Amino acid sequence: RPQKKIAGQRRVLDEATRQRRLTRQLEALEKDNFQDDPLSSLPPPGPTARLPAFSETEEPGKRKTRGDHFKQRFRKNFTALLEEENLSERPEPNYLSAAAPPSSLPPRHFCCVCGFPSHYTCSTCGGRYCSCKCLSTHRETRCLKWTL
Amino acid sequence: MATLVLDNGAYTAKIGYSLEKVSVIPNCQFRSKNSRLKTFTANQLDEIKDPSGLFYILPFQKGYLVNWDVQRKVWDHLFGKEMFKVDFADTSIIITEPYFNFTSIQESMNEILFEEYQFQSALRINGGSLSAHHCFHSKPSELCCLVVDSGFSFTHIAPYCRSKKLNHGIRRINVGGKLLTNHLKEIISYRQLHVMDETHVINQVKEDVCYVSQQFYKDMEIAQLRGEDNDLMRDYVLPDFSAIKKGFCKPREEMVFSGKYKTGEQILRLVNERFAVPETLFHPSDIGIQEMGIPEAIVDSVQSLPEEMQPHLYQNIVLTGGNMLFPGFRERLEAELRSLVPAHLPVSVLLPPNPVCHAWEGGKLLAHSPDFDEMVVTREEYEENGHCVCEDKFDI
Ligand SMILES: [Zn+2]
Ligand SMILES: [Zn+2]
């Protein structure tokens, strides 16, 4: 099998890169949408057309909220709000301390191509595979060129 | 005076007056490819004839309310003349929030309820506390109860003793229905068909075909069988939103085990995906999330509490939230707990008839309980004392 020769030429991803890849995969699982907002993919409006800028519009006759300060406070994302809470200085229990600790059970391994239990680890990226067939699919698709 | 109960979830709002029945309504806005200029709010989703490529605008991020513009649009719609026609000056609201909600979100909540909408009075409370109330109300002899709430954003394990929340025992697992749908989308897109833009469709696939396995490795073996011996295999016919409005599983007798279908429908073949996806709730580390799964986290929670409470908690575990609708969830959890918990302690896991609306029903019961008037903050009290009166009274 030509694997040995190829292995000699193949780049091996270091631990930090592998971790970054995993983090990116897990972040992708948090996304609300994969595609772009259909509104933003419209062609640019003509000189007279006015797009309803989402979340900026105040319908006429609606009760207005208080000043800019108030509005600002309603525009923070999760990370900003979490930082603002300054939980590391606050007494427990809190949002951070409530996170379930890591499992004490041994990790289970599944083929990253077909999802069945796997016994082998890709020497390049650390991904798991179950058979030669899945390994070659993995190398052709994701191994060094992960795209989601 | 009327009481409006609103279990304000990150995916759906469970809403209704305490004397009426509950409605489950999307707590978000949508945009669609075919009417790109229009933004659809909450149940206006039903007006979208072709929801392929449906774009979601959600008020919550990681389970916490961050986009108030969207939230207020949804609430304006829910409270307004098209739906609940709320007479704010004469209405009390019970509204839910996540455990350990951030201070600034709690304050924004007070401002919006009392200053913007001007409700006559309000009770802000954790959804799990409403479920616990439900439990203590229907079984007054129980001392403790452990609420397992697995929803869109995450899963919480929350112990209660004599209707008091035990904050030290609360555990959060960052696995919820959104992550499961996205995971299913990702593996289907890699293995057979690009469906990354089809959250709405694949969420339906998840609800239609996924289940919690009782013998995980045995099911993995069956899933590897070829042809008709593989009785876990499902062929799912995707909707095209013209002839096929809603996806469905091909009946067994119409399945083509080798070769192609000649019917021209678009088909997804689902095998190990059916149970490997919900398995993430039991083993988050399967996909690289270094957290305990639900059974282990329950034991971790209970063991952090006084020993005399522990037997009472194990024998009164209540399941709430949309993920409890996966067939087999209760049985699997009970079996795993049985093997983790000391043999002399009874284990009992209860699945309410409607796990999605269980908290709402608890809120409905609470609205009619004699303690209710003592629990709310009135607009007058808020105007006089501001946030502190809410902080004192509400246990978030
Ligand atoms: Zn494989
Ligand atoms: Zn690799």
Q: B323 to each of B175, B177, B196, how far by Cα in Å?
A: 10, 6, 21
Residues of A in contact with B199 (CB under 8 A): 32-34
**Which of A64-68, A121-125, B27-31, B308-312 shows the lowest per-residue confidence on average (mean pLDDT)?**
A64-68
Are the folds of B2-126+356-393 and B130-176+287-350 the same? yes
Confirm if B374 and B357 have CB atoms less than 8 A apart: no
Q: Is the pTM of this model over 0.90?
A: yes
Q: A38, B104: Cβ pair inside 8 Å? A: no
H-only helix segments in chain B: 68-79, 103-110, 127-138, 177-191, 199-209, 216-224, 273-276, 294-303, 310-314, 329-340, 358-367, 372-375, 379-385, 387-393
Within the 78-107 window of chain B, which residues sit less than 8 Å (CB to CB) from chain A? 99-100, 102-105
- Cβ–Cβ gap B170/A98 under 8 Å: yes
For position B37, what pLDDT does the model report? 86
Q: What is the pLDDT of residue A75?
A: 76
CA closest to A51 among chain B residues: B37
For chain B, positions 332-391, list CB contacts with chain A under 8 A: none
Q: SS3 for A89?
A: helix
Per-residue model confidence (pLDDT) at position B18: 98
Fold of domain B2-126+356-393: Nucleotidyltransferase; domain 5 (3.30.420)
| C-alpha span between B144 and A136 (Å, rounded) | 54
For residue B126 the two structure tokens come to 């954790």
Scanning the structure block, which residue is given the tokens 């995916």?
Answer: B11
Contact A42 B296 (CB under 8 A): no
Sketch the domain layout of chain B as residue ranges.
2-126+356-393, 130-176+287-350, 177-278
Assign B218 to helix, strand or coil.
helix
Output the CATH code of domain B177-278.
3.90.640.10
Query: What's the pLDDT band for A46 if we cut at 50, 70, 90?
Result: low
| B276 token code pair | 């490997």
- Residues within 5 Å of ion ligand 2 by Cβ? A 122, 124-125, 127, 143
Closest C-alpha to B244, from B270, B269, B263: B263
Residue B92 has pLDDT above 90, yes or no: yes
Topology given in CATH for the domain delimited by B130-176+287-350:
Nucleotidyltransferase; domain 5 (3.30.420)
Domain boundaries defined on chain A: 109-147
Q: Share the mean pLDDT of chain B.
A: 97
ipTM computed for the complex: 0.95
Nearest beta carbon to residue B100 from set A29, A94, A107: A94
Name the β-bridge partners of B318. B147, B350
